[in-house]
Structure 1
Amino acid sequence: MRGDACIPLLPCVEIAPTLEFYGLLGFEVTYQQRTPNPYAATRRGGAQLHFFGLKGLDPLKAFSSCLIIVDEVEDLHARFVAALKKAYGRIPLRGVPRVTRMKKGQTRFTVVDPSGNSLMFIRRDEPAGYGDDDKDAPASVLAKALKTARRLRDFKGDDAAAAKVLDVALKKADAGTTVERARGLAARAELAVALGDMRRARELARDIDALSLSASEREALRVELEALEPLARTQE
């Protein structure tokens, strides 16, 4: 006996550009009709997505979403980014369509399609609570700010709000340990680049250089800061 199956049915402004976009992500069209109503079905591995045309749909006000559980996310994100960059001539980080940024060790990312539908790709073995269990609740002001900023960045895609949260915490001299301050500065630098404020990003990098950190701590931060370079190039 076959198990039950659930297939998301998402609205779209137009079927053709929707299928073109999902084709970039490796989804194949398994069915399509133009009359009496625009409709299409797609598949990528075990994930199926169906679409229907909806007159008057505003992509900037859309809220339809879907979770897709996958075995890994980092390589998948890299493949999606490469395909979108080739098609659009840049990595679409803002507006519609767009793809959220990916940091090493991250377990999820989101793709927003041309109609404003959000697809969140989640690693199958992601820790419960996305690593935010109460037992691991941060104690310092900076640790709490980093947690909040991460959720604003990764779940809501609100870079500006995440930046404000970190700015408030970083203004406090005793907000956390030196390592937490370094991580806060690195996270804020990443947001500055994404927001197109390269001058602010360079200022934050200098603030990190001025901190008293061990060689191993600086090495850990070096990986984070080097990850900003491809993102910085998209802002040039």
Structure 2
Amino acid sequence: MAHETTIPLLPCRSLDDVAPFYQALGFRVGHRQARPNPYLALHREDLHLHFFGMPKFDPATSYGSCLVLVDDLVAIHRDFAAGMRAAYGKVLVSGLPRMTRPRARKNQDGLSGFSIVDPGGNWIRFVARTAPPADDGPTGRLARTLENAVVQADSRGDHRQAARILDAALSRPDTADDPLVHVEALVYRAELALVLDEPAAARELLERAGAVPLSEDGRERLAATLRHAADLAATSG
């Protein structure tokens, strides 16, 4: 057989929650009905997502998830971020809905990915179709701990465990040995603080990240991370 098409069918409490969120990300409504069963069909180019309404559904307990393989992970994340800024005034990084930023996942053979957690609590996991060329990136203890934290939080959804292992690593005296990884770890820990509803902790972590001395080359290499830090600062108040 050939030319099969698989479309995820995901739960939500209300179509009125889901539709505006995805429309802000550039999706269009292909079909919507209220009776006999609430149903919503959305599409963005070749990406199709369908939803069914369950009035008593609790998004916090959702196990809904799907993988989306894409050729240009950075471009689609950039488009989603722009849509969020236009609709909500900021990139949503905590609560429901929210979006993570692209990061390499060691539990996905190094492929980079990011996730959208939508108003129904569904994890839409975007993954690069191919891995970037191998490089000689950081391999120290803090870098390895950061990789583990990303797996715990971005893949498994265990933000508190990710925070614990990062806190232990950031408390060690050798943390500042690699300033680039130090900033990455602090900014990611601030993101976790916001997801855990700890805005004061997030602000303190972002201040620590901003105080790490960086060369001009280091700032260029961390440009995406520093932009993300600015988004986090706007969210933390």
State the TM-score, normalizing by the size of structure 1. 0.77
Per the alignment, do residues 80 and 58 of structure 1 end up closer, same or farther by CA in structure 2, a change over 3 Å counting? same
Cα RMSD for the two superposed structures: 3.2
List alignment gaps of at least 5 residues for structure 2: 105-109, 194-198
Equivalent-residue separation in structure 1 for 2:227 and 2:52 (angstroms): 42
Question: 1:111/1:224 Cα in 2 relative to 1: closer, same or farther (>3 Å)?
Answer: closer
TM-superposed CA distance for 1:116, in Å, is 0.9
Please list every run of 5 or more consecutive structure 1 residues that lacks an aligned counterpart in the other structure: none
Confirm or deny: 8 A CA contact 1:67 1:120 kept in the other structure. yes
Provide the C-alpha distance between the structure 1 equivalents of 2:29 and 2:224, rounded to a whole number of angstroms. 39
User: Contact 2:103 / 2:114 at 8 angstroms: preserved in 1?
Assistant: no
Q: In the TM superposition, what is the alpha-carbon distance from 1:157 to its structure 2 partner?
A: 4.6
2:34 maps to: 34
SS in 1 for 2:67: strand
Q: Which amino acid counterpart does residue 186 of structure 1 have in structure 2? A: V
Alignment of 1:3-22 (within 5 A): 3-22=3-22
1:186-212 alpha-carbon deviations (Å, 9 max, x no partner): 123203543332223323443x33xxx
Give, in angstroms, the shift of residue 58 of structure 1. 0.4
The alpha-carbon deviation at position 230 of structure 1 amounts to: 3.6
User: In the aligned structure 2, how far is the partner of 1:214 from the partner of 1:100?
Assistant: 27
Q: CA deviation at 1:94?
A: 0.8
- Corresponding letter in the other structure for 1:155: S
Question: CA 1:162–1:184 in 2, change beyond 3 Å: closer, same or farther?
Answer: farther
Kindly indicate whether residue 44 of structure 2 is the aligned counterpart of residue 47 of structure 1.
Answer: no
Determine if contact 1:159/1:191 at 8 Å carries over to the other structure.
no
Equivalent residue number for residue 121 of structure 1: 126
Match of 2:162 in 1: 162
Query: Residues 223 and 51 from structure 1, CA distance in 2 versus in 1: closer, same or farther, beyond 3 angstroms?
Result: closer
Question: Which has the larger Rg?
Answer: 1
- For residue 140 of structure 1, report the CA deviation from its aligned partner: 4.8
Residue of structure 2 in register with 1:110 after alignment? 115
Q: 1: CA distance between counterparts of 2:22 and 2:219?
A: 40
In 1, the alpha carbon distance for the partners of 2:170 and 2:43 equals: 45
Is 1:199 aligned to 2:200, yes or no? no
CA distance 1:20–1:201, change in 2 (3 Å): closer
Compute the displacement of 1:170 (Å).
Answer: 3.2
> What letter is aligned with 1:29?
V
CA distance in 1, matches of 2:226, 2:89: 24
Which residue pairs with 1:189 in the alignment?
186
* Percent of residue pairs identical: 35
For 1:86, what is the secondary structure of its paired residue? helix
Q: Deviations over 1:40-79 (max 9, x none)?
A: 2222222211111113110111110011111212221122
TM-score, scaled relative to structure 2: 0.77
Distance change in 2, residues 1:183/1:38 (3 Å): same
Alpha-carbon separation, structure 1, partners of 2:29 and 2:143: 45
Contact kept, 8 Å, 2:103 with 2:113, in 1: the verdict is no
